[in-house]
Structure 1
Amino acid sequence: MLTMKAVRTLLTAATLTLLGGAASAETITVYTSYEEDEAAAFLAEAKKALPDIDVKMLRLSTGDLAARIIAESGNPQHDVLWGFAVTSMVDPRISSTLEPYQPKGVEAIAERFRDKDGKWFAVTGYMAAFCVNKDRLAAKGLPMPTSWADLTDPKFKGEVVMPNPASSGTGYIQVDALLQMMGEEKGWAFLEKLDKNVAQYIKSGSKPCNAASAGEYAVGASFELRAIKNIEEGYPIAMVIASEGAGNELEANALVATSKHKDAAKRFLDWTVSKDAANSYYNWKAIVTVPGGTMPERFVKAGLPADVSKVLFPVDFAAAASERPRIIETWQKKFER
């Protein structure tokens, strides 16, 4: 039987071991713009894979996080950017704070999802999609649209709702992609033709889908995950990816140049391109650039292509970022109501 003194000795040794283990865990700070529930789920998986790294995470919306990074650029307080919009990542004030890093396995990600200078790599994203109310189409005798061009048919007058690109990131990727694929002159002319059928522009990217799902309009221009969720909830809608190609935003990761914990930060970034990470992303994201994960059956059942890369428009993200103020100003003068 152990004496009380022996018990105290063992307890002291165990305590020192625990403290030593905690002290040896290196801490990194990660900034992200993933939605709160997504970020929490992804982080839980990362911690399982990297138990010896203490990951501190700050989550802010894309605009707020961009402003914080720029404000802190003289003395960055983070080691890693994770799930941050590429159109913000390419801002020179932000990209100048980053250091090129090629995680283990990143070569499996298609080149168009990686920065040519190696400063960032996109692992997830979202894309534009139509929510089409099948019941309303039948009642109105309207055909199922398959493209943006179909929505300019006079038959759809007053039956289309879209997000306002001045307030909605989803709305902006829709407008910008059309301008990029058609060219400025033809693109603006097309938007003017489309505007004749648009009943209203809504501030949110998800509300056009919700309005169509409720039967208020035939078509709500929105994004793919909102369409999938509404289909799962039983609304009589179909998800349509425009045949011209879907506008999209990618969410990327990067190493901060001034990080004092680069070894741990690099290990974290290595995990973000792993198969385990890809499977975690697929629980929340329709666009996953990391190969090896498995798209949920419910996504495919809702109409999402098994290989979404084939339907994505190849957005010039640097142009989308730099031209945004001008495009928004022009759009507001032409279409804001």
Structure 2
Amino acid sequence: MLRKKLTQSLAIGSLALLLAACNNNTKTSDDTVIIYSNADDEAITIMQDTLDDNGFTSQYKIQPIGTSELGGKMLAEGRGIEADVITMASYYIDSAQAQHHMFKELPATSKPIQQTSSIQRPILGNTGALFINTEALKAAGLPKPTSLNDLTDPRYKNQLSFPNMLDSSTGWLLVQAVFAEYGEKEGKTILTKLFNNAGPHVESSGSGPIKKVTSGEVAIGFGLRAQAVDAKENGLPIDYVDPIEGNYSLVESVAVVDHEENDKEKKAAEMAEVIAEKARPALMEQYPVALYKGETLKKTQQPAHLKQWNEPLSVKLLEQHQMIYKEAKGEN
């Protein structure tokens, strides 16, 4: 009797193992679309809400990653990257495509103002400007600056905040403006003086300067123009200044990784289309930069000195500027 029960138990156990193995072999792969994004919290919220409103609830996962880290992953991993969809600075998308041919072609229904590669769709633009806390500026007895070069004056010491371009793409907007206007040699000298005046207020986050300016910890900051416009419209003692060197912009786009998985890629492409088309009105409201023909801005949203770099932005150009930036900062 004991031998019979043991034989029955072994048979049942073997059958269970066999069924488990069959289930594992026939189990479908996870079809959750993975989205990597360098966007800030406000943009990610808009994208999530738009995807949910268009029938994609619980079908995706957005993973926020900083620009430098995400750019490094794209360039190092190519098509091997886990993400199915990426929203990222357009120059990083183009550079990764040139190196790895990792993105699919995306048909466009709207026409971008600037020529854009067919593997990406612009979703938002960031424009740089100066902003000031009018009360803090008055209390410090400082004149209102009109340029980035004005801020090299020693009397602005410890009253200036700007983003570190090694951590934040917003910081590159300042560097582009300085180098385009004054050249790399004089621009390096200007950057050194700006570092001296900023002291401990060089921020790792692009939103760091506006926080310090609105709190009154410093009187002047450089960052995203839209942040200062919003603060002023909300009644805070904040004003904004379009520096004479120019309001430079960076565009962030959406792209679909070519993983050669037809069903999942089809859904990923549909989500990218929703982000590019359906989320665009809300993104433009939050980041008022016209990217497509026919888009218009309110008067307060229009920078006085809108400019762009005289050649397409690239990771190579970024690294060249970072090297000079580090030298100006006193880093090897």
Q: How far apart are residue 59 of structure 1 and its match? A: 3.1
- Count of matched residue positions in the alignment of Structure 1 and Structure 2: 299
After alignment, is 181-190 or 119-128 more displaced? 181-190
Cα RMSD of the aligned pairs, angstroms, is 3.6
Q: TM-score, length-normalised on structure 1?
A: 0.72
Matched, 1:285 2:290: no
The two structures have a TM-score, normalised by structure 2, of 0.72
1:271 maps to 2:245: no
Give the aligned partner of residue 12 of structure 2: none
Q: Is the 8 A contact 1:278 1:291 kept in 2?
A: no
Q: Which residue of 2 aligns with 1:313?
A: 308
1:91-114 Cα shifts (integer Å, max 9, x gaps) = 3477524345242323x21124x1
- State the SS of the aligned residue for 1:110: coil
Conserved 8 A contact 2:128-2:174 = yes
Q: Deviations over 1:39-77 (max 9, x none)?
A: 233132134335599444333222333344445435343
**Structure 1's 332 and 237: CA in aligned 2 closer, same or farther, altered over 3 A?**
same
Identity in percent: 22
* 8 A contact 1:89–1:95 mirrored in 2: no
1:65-144 equivalences in 2 (<5 Å) = 65-70=70-75, 72-81=77-86, 83-92=87-96, 96-99=100-103, 101-106=105-110, 108-112=111-115, 114-115=116-117, 118-144=118-144
In structure 1, the gaps of 5 or more residues are 1-22
Unaligned runs of 5+ in 2: 1-27
In the alignment, the residues of structure 2 paired with residue 35 and residue 192 of structure 1 have an alpha-carbon distance, to the nearest angstrom, of 28
* Matched AA of 1:159: Q
1:334 equivalenced with 2:331 (yes/no): no
TM-fit CA distance, 1:124: 0.6
CA distance in structure 2 between the aligned counterparts of 1:143 and 1:242, rounded to whole angstroms: 14
2:310 and 2:267 mapped to 1: Cα distance? Answer: 32
Larger radius of gyration, structure 1 or 2? 2
The aligned residue for residue 14 of structure 2 is none
Distance of aligned partners of 1:76 and 1:220 in 2 relative to their CA distance in 1, 3 Å threshold? closer
Q: Which residue does 2:9 correspond to in 1?
A: none
| Distance apart, 1:238 and its partner CA | 0.4
Comparing 127-136 and 59-68, the one that deviates more? 59-68
Counterparts of 1:171 and 1:159, CA distance in 2: 17
Q: After TM superposition, list the pairs within 5 Å mapping 1:183-222 onto structure 2.
A: 183-192=183-192, 194=194, 197-204=197-204, 205-222=206-223
Residue 301 of structure 2 corresponds to: 304
Residues 123 and 288, structure 1, Cα contact 8 Å, conserved in 2:
no
Distance in 1 (alpha carbons) for counterparts of 2:295 and 2:158: 41
